[in-house]
A and B are shown apart, each in its own frame.
Chain A
């Protein structure tokens, strides 16, 4: 009987820890995501496959990757939802954070190269964990359009000098 109580206590303890740390980590991450989205708003990320033809751009592949894992509480709750069916809401915020973070990382790579836009952006999501652990990789990739200085207007003309001035602030690494 004691071993049953110990097991139950352990599970409850893990759930409480998972909930507390998971909630704190998520709030912190969302706060950073909003800040970085605001500061990188000047670099448009476009789904279209047809780039602007106003000038000549160098085209470079840029990508941003994120590996994100759920906490014990989210995993347990998702297991309960799986049992009854319905929307797996515990994982919605997880995927939302991962996609936004992947775009931000991709934009940081693009900014480092002096891009004016990122075109043809796509996502790829892969489950990388086995068993009960829910962990996934989200990859965002696109074509960075870097204005060519030699054959057309200068970079400053294209983006108003914003890009180079802010590039240092935008390349800060962020951890989830």
Chain B
């Protein structure tokens, strides 16, 4: 713990210094530098979710010299975190009233639905770029390429399912869409608060930072974020999946002992 607490500001400082170094040296290939305050999120017994800070810097001069943009040209940053990478299909079920009771009548299996999706932009999305740009880069939940595994429905019905996925995910606090969630501290430095909810799945997540100027993406930076259980929680989780039968038997034996111990403790003389 102390080690992490020590390294956190150190890593942050290093990243910002790197960012400044880049801006000072006008490296044409790198016009954007960004990093998360932590690249590994450890899920421990007191994990209740986490707030990460994504910070970075853009190089205005580089952008000027390479793209010939004037000083007044808009610069926007969009941040996306999604994952985990080992995505599995999900079933979306639709309820209808049958004889007064709500019943799941239809279901569609969808592929390409991230378990978690966070997007933040420095301004209103509509002001930053065209919807075509967003669609191509899977920016904003409605542009995620969520497709049915075996499609038998028309596009209109499928879209009802897609909006339902987004609505459910937002309610479960697994999808976030924050206009203005990226704030500029000055002309070059920016930061965004990223919410990692307690119900997040473990795995490797990908972070993408887009630098957009006058509606065109001029730079993209990708990073990975590792969300993992540690210590006791990890051991239990791995035990349950690696040797499930033994895990089940042990859980029962433990329950038997606990029940027996309690009845002994409360035994009447």
A and B held together in a complex: no
